[in-house]
Amino acid sequence: SLPGSPVTLKILQNWVPRVSHYFDKEHYTYVGHQIVIQESIEHFGAVVWPGALALSQYLESNQEQFNLKDKKVLEIGAGTGLLSIVACILGAHVTATDLPEVLENLSYNISRNTKNLNTHKPEVRKLVWGEGLNEDFPVSTYHYDFVLATDVVYHHAALDPLLATMVYFCKPGTVLLWANKFRFSTDYEFLEKVCNIFNTTILAEFPESNVKLLKATVREN
């Protein structure tokens, strides 16, 4: 069993649905800003999943506990970019990463929603889990205060590379915040691996959405 007694929360309906026959543009409000997200039906990573809503809401509500101002924040599997946009609004130096085929839509959403903000300019980069990490993000140069990951665990074969990527970026002093829907045994097996490697706490649960929000830090010997 995990330490900590998680708060039980509900994902608030922070958006006004707009429907079109091809591209969905979803309108959200976080931290006093309207955020417009273009989704794509072609890619998994191009739809806003509940974990991103849960963590965006949590960061908005817990700014004292997790103060992102001027912090270096890496999002892995950023998808549509909603969470990275929220982190940027909260004052972070954000690097949003995902697979090459997702980057165009991700870049579009991030630049569109942050261009008029007086905040650090976010960066969008390719990151394939477990591949080329030393080359693209050498440890000597890149250290992140926070690593954000939402809905990164579902039916896919890349769970070991995902775990390796979390381990790679979680240095002493880094906080990993991971929000995910938990439905399948594979989800819980991955959680068990995370708990075996990191100091892990459940911060919040969103039972209606089957989402758990976890904080993980590296075990220091």
| In-domain check, residue 17 | no
Q: How far is CA 107 from CA 77, 112, 126, 208, in A?
A: 13, 8, 11, 31
The pTM assigned to this predicted structure is: 0.90
| In-domain check, residue 10 | no
| In-domain check, residue 25 | no
Which pLDDT score is estimated for 44? 59
Cβ-based neighbour number of residue 189 at 10 Å: 12
Q: Which two tokens stand for residue 214?
A: 């976890």
Which pLDDT score is estimated for 107? 96
φ, ψ dihedrals at 163, nearest 5°: -60, -45
Range of 96's domain?
A: 44-218
SS3 92: coil
Q: What is the pLDDT along the chain (221 residues), one digit of tens a residue?
A: 566 678 888 877 665 555 444 445 788 889 989 898 888 766 655 677 899 999 999 999 999 999 999 999 999 999 999 999 999 999 999 999 999 999 999 999 999 999 989 899 999 999 999 999 999 999 999 999 999 999 999 867 789 999 999 999 999 999 999 999 999 999 999 999 999 999 999 999 999 999 999 999 999 86
Q: Give the integer Cα–Cα distance in Å for 165 and 94.
A: 17
Q: Which two tokens stand for residue 102?
A: 């997702």
Asked whether the CA dihedral 187, 142, 122, 56 is positive or negative, the reply is positive
| In-domain check, residue 49 | yes
| In-domain check, residue 11 | no
| In-domain check, residue 37 | no
> What CATH number should be reported for the domain holding residue 150?
3.40.50.150
Q: Which two tokens stand for residue 127?
A: 């990151």
Task: Name residue 18's amino acid.
Answer: R
Which pLDDT score is estimated for 26? 81
Which pLDDT score is estimated for 39? 82
DSSP string, 41-67: SS-GGGS--HHHHHHHHHHHH-TTTS-
Angle of helix 103-114 versus helix 82-89 axis, rounded to 10: 30
Q: How many domains does the chain have?
A: 1
| In-domain check, residue 114 | yes
| In-domain check, residue 24 | no
